[in-house]
Every structure is written in structure tokens, then in C-alpha cells.
Amino acid sequence: MPKPNNIIFAGIGGSAIPGELVKDAVDLNIPIEVSRSYTLSTHANSSSLVICISYSGNTEEPLSQFVEAVKKQIPVVSIASGGKLLEWSKRLNIPFIQVPSGYQPRETIPHLFFSAIACLEKLGLKDFSEDKKEFLDLISEINLSAIDRIAEEIKDSIPVIYGSVEFSGVLRRIKNELNENSKMLAKFEEVPEMTHNEIVGYEVFGYPNVSVIFLRDKDERQEIRKRIEVTKEILVEKVKNINEIWAYGNSKLSKVMSLVYQGGYLSFELAKLRNVDWRQIKTIDKLKESLEELGVVEKLERDLGFIS
């Protein structure tokens, strides 16, 4: 497979997050995009690479983009534990990576993320050996007692997560983990963008039920550091509490994954403190059951000519 001119990750929910984290963690000379839709990005063409990710292999949105890419003869790679995505890939001789099954999709970020990284390495775009080793070596150094303290402080509040735009995918990942594992409403915004608008929302009124968490990096730009410090001064009397979670390591991959690790741990600790079952996703299950009557996957399979 030739080197692509751009890469499009096709996924949704937890299966879209690997693409977001790759965007945060990887410096390549080609554009990387995440497409959360039933249709491919308009930037997809014969010189692109579409990486379709669906942990179950049966998620409608990436399956729809897979079929569109196949019909348009756009190069595709699939990452899944099984399901239709792997079945179709095998029947069409499309390259795929099979990850272990039996987990919640949000549990499998290490498998999905590093599978995506392996795709980039296989294409000769970059060697991540040193970055991966650094991250694995530093996991034991991460101070989880600090995360325990944060969990205790924010357990009865609405978490709002702020951080540099360079950690956009991490911000989304942690917000999603708090939603799904901790059963909490949560939101995130990027710096500097939030300092041009959202910060004004604190100007008149306070929010005693809001807890703010800043994602920090020892190597963050001076301008980002200043914006965060000034924002903290503005918020100190407006919200319930303010906390920081710091990245570890020197490589972008280590920084990104160390924040993901801490955010995931935080969500599980909050689930314990709030006495909720992190595994249950009743609302999502109900929605999926309702959508099955539309027969989207069956229609896609007919499009590929597998059934008459």
C-alpha cells in the first residue's frame, strides 16, 4: 500500500477516540482527520487512507464509511474485534487488525490506539519504538494518589475539563469516560478558544456545582500557560474547586497516553465513590435496539453484494 496523502479515521464513540489521540500524539507531514458520520469526509479520495475502527465490528457509522470507501476504491484498513467489519474485510481481501474481544469498547483504547499506531508504522510514516518504550517505562511513576484526591473533591459536582488544543482528543476522551464510567454530566473546552468566549460565562455568576480540571504539560507554550494561570485566578471564587492533571514524559505519545491513563483512573474511582456500575450503558443499549429496526447493516451488506 503506498503512502497516503491524508488519513481519515472512520469511527464513532469510543472507536473514534483512537483517531483523536493519534492526532494529538503524532507529528506527520500529512493531514489526519476523524470522521464521525454515516458518510466519508469530502477529503477522502484515491490518495487517502481510510482507517475504519469499530471495536464490535458492527457499528453502523464506520460500516457505512467502509462501504462508501470500498465503492469509491479508496484504500481502507480495518480495526475490530470481529463482527461485520472483519467479515467484510476478509471477504474483500482488505487489510485488517483484529483486537481481543469481550471488553467494553472504552476499555480497549490501548489495543485500538496502538493498532492505529502500528498501521502508521507499517506504512513507513514514522517509527514509534522509543515513544512507546518511554510510555511503558513511566506508567509506574504516575502519581495516582493525586487522582484519588481529585475524585473525592469532584464526586458530587459537574466536571468541566480545560486544556491546550494540543490535547483536544484527550479532553474528549476524559469527558466521555466521566459520562460512561462515572455516570456524570461533563464537558470540555480547549485553550485558547475558551479564553475568547466561555470565560465570560463566569463573569457575573458563580457555579458552586461545577468542578474545573486543567490538563497541564511542563512543555506547554508560554501563551497557553499564561492563559491557564489567569483563567484559574478568575475562576477561583466562581466554582466549587479547581484541580490539575499533569502529563508525564517527553514525547507527545507519552504525554497523551499518560493523561488518558489518569483520566480513565479518575472515572473508575468516581464510579466507586458514586456507587454506580461503570459497565452498564442502558441508555446506549436502548438506543441501539431501537435503531436495529432500520436494518442499516443489512442494507450495507446488500450494497456490497454479499446477499441477494
Per-residue pLDDT of 15-51, as tens digits, reads 999 999 999 999 888 999 999 999 999 999 999 999 9
CATH annotation of 6-127 = 3.40.50.10490
Q: At what angle do helices 252-273 and 17-25 cross, to 10 degrees?
A: 140
**Contact call for residues 5 and 47 (beta carbons, < 8 A):** yes
Per this entry, what is the length of the chain? 308
The architecture (CATH level 2) of 137-273 comes to: 3-Layer(aba) Sandwich (3.40)
Per-residue pLDDT of 126-183, as tens digits, reads 999 999 999 999 999 999 999 999 999 999 999 999 999 999 999 999 999 999 999 9
Q: What are phi and psi of 185, to 5 degrees?
A: -70, 140
Question: How much is the mean pLDDT over the chain?
Answer: 94
pLDDT of residue 121: 95
Q: Judge if 6-127 and 137-273 fold alike in CATH terms.
A: yes
What is the C-alpha separation between 272 and 254, in angstroms, rounded? Answer: 27
Closest Cα to residue 23, out of 172, 132, 136?
172
- Confidence grade of residue 305 (pLDDT, cut at 50, 70, 90): confident
Per-domain residue ranges for the chain? 6-127, 137-273
Give residue for cell 475524585. Answer: 151
**H/E element holding 25?**
helix 17-25
What is the C-alpha separation between 204 and 222, in angstroms, rounded? Answer: 28
